Structure 1
Amino acid sequence: MRLLSALLAAALLAGCAAVPKLPPERSRLRDFALEARFALRVTPPDRAPRSSGGLLSWEHDGRGDRLLLSSPLGIGLAEIDMAPGLARLRTADGRRIESADPESLTEEVTGQRLPVGRLSDWLLGRTTAGGTLERDAAGRPARLNEAGWQIDYAYADAAPDAPPSALTLNRAGEIELKLRIESWRELP
């Protein structure tokens, strides 16, 4: 369950310390790093919900993504590297799993094909032509719906250029991931 929880948290990414401002034009932001806490709840059909949580360190740049998942006490559980044509998971016990893309990797590990490739865009409130985005009074992303997922955004600051301090990702009540972003920075 820990590996499943860690991978789902990476795949999907309340209350927060001060978070640096994002550039006013989110559409131009490409590369970032963040530190977050996550809480994950999975409710399989006809079974009791299972919950877990921990820490997430995420770097996203033009070459790909690197995610480090740790227990609430900071003990490393798994590292996930994603680049075009390759997704690799390494667990603390030395296990390695590779796939051609992050969605195939999540399907192999969890049995579900999860939209890992969309997470960085969802974090910034970017959607595809098939999705919808609602904005708050300050013009920031408030709710995004795409491919059966609903992403709700919360902000610790009222400024129009404030980055989200918390996200809740939900798929039909069967998977809920809450992220509390503790630090956020734009990468050069």
Structure 2
Amino acid sequence: MRRLVLMGAAAGLLLAACAPVPVRKPADQAALAAQAARERQLAGVEGWTLEGHLAVSDGHDGGSGTLTWTQNGERYDFDLRAPITGKSFRLSGGPDGAVLEGVEGGPLRGPDAETLMRRALGWEVPLRELRAWVLGLRAPGGAAELSFGEHELPALLQQDGWAVDYRAWDLSRQPPLPQKVFASQPPYKVKLSIDSFRLAPAPCADCGR
């Protein structure tokens, strides 16, 4: 088994439509300062619930569906459902390993989400980095190069061999949060369209004193 069939040849078409490429400009001091301010504001966010649509492709096969992603510190719960076929899977875990349910022969277990999805589905999804990228942040550890669009917000983030294309932002949020995130490392593509983003409150350092 190399893939989970969620939606057939139409995988990703929903996300690809109506997503113009934003104007990009090289990073300057003002844009980098604005990004650093956003990263400080979001530094305390340890969790969220994200709902939207996800499409994944390796250039030949892929899948897509509606997504609910709940992050709580290092622990995650990742549910992907296809409304047409009814197929679904659930990926959950944390530092102690990952579990993939809803696949043939499952549930399957692995050391981490990336290894498990690669082995079970043939999908290359950088979930560890995506945890930062979905917030519009640079992932910790690897060097990153940024280009910016309107409102001093990232338009393109290049990190760890991936190009992360930000096609739309929710400007009603403070700080703004991404609405469309397209990540690619040929031949792999991950397209995420975010419908709602509920951030968990940051921990209170003075609570209980």
Give the TM-score, by structure 2 length.
0.68
Q: CA RMSD in A?
A: 3.1
Once the two structures are overlaid, the 10-residue window that deviates more, 63-72 or 104-113, is 104-113
- Residues in 1 aligned to 2:85 and 2:51: alpha-carbon distance in whole angstroms: 12
1:40 counterpart residue number:
56
Of residues 137, 141, 144 in structure 1, which corresponds to 2:154?
141
In structure 2, do the counterparts of structure 1 residues 165 and 113 end up closer, same or farther at CA, with 3 Å as the change threshold?
closer
Match of 1:86 in 2: 97
Equivalence for 1:20: none
Which residue of 2 is the match for residue 3 of structure 1?
4
Distance 1:26 1:61, change over 3 A: same
Give the alignment partner of residue 175 of structure 2, picking from 132, 140, 161: 161
Amino acid at match of 2:130: L
Greater mean alpha carbon deviation, residues 71-80 or residues 53-62:
71-80
CA distance in 1 between partners of 2:72 and 2:6 (Å): 24
Residue 149 of structure 1: how far off its partner (Å):
0.9
Q: How does 1:82-161 map to 2 (within 5 A)?
A: 82-91=93-102, 95-111=106-122, 114-124=125-135, 125-127=137-139, 128-158=141-171, 161=175
3-state secondary structure, aligned to 2:178: coil
**In 1, distance between residues paired with 2:62 and 2:123?**
17
1:53 aligned partner, one-letter code: S
Q: Based on CA coordinates, which of the two structures has the bigger radius of gyration?
A: 2
CA–CA separation in structure 2 for the residues paired with 1:104 and 1:50:
18
Q: Distance in 1 between matches of 2:169 and 2:144?
A: 25
The unaligned stretches of length 5 or more in structure 1 are 17-22, 44-48
Greater RCO between the two (CA within 8 Å, min separation 6)?
1
| Aligned residue identity for 1:169 | A
Q: Deviations over 1:146-182 (max 9, x none)?
A: 121111112254467221111111112x112211111
User: CA 1:129/1:156 → structure 2, altered by over 3 Å: closer, same or farther?
Assistant: closer
* Number of equivalenced pairs: 170
Q: Which runs of 4+ in 1 moved over 6 A?
A: none
CA deviation string 1:132-156 (max 9, x = no partner): 2333342322211112111111225
TM-score normalised over the length of structure 1 = 0.75
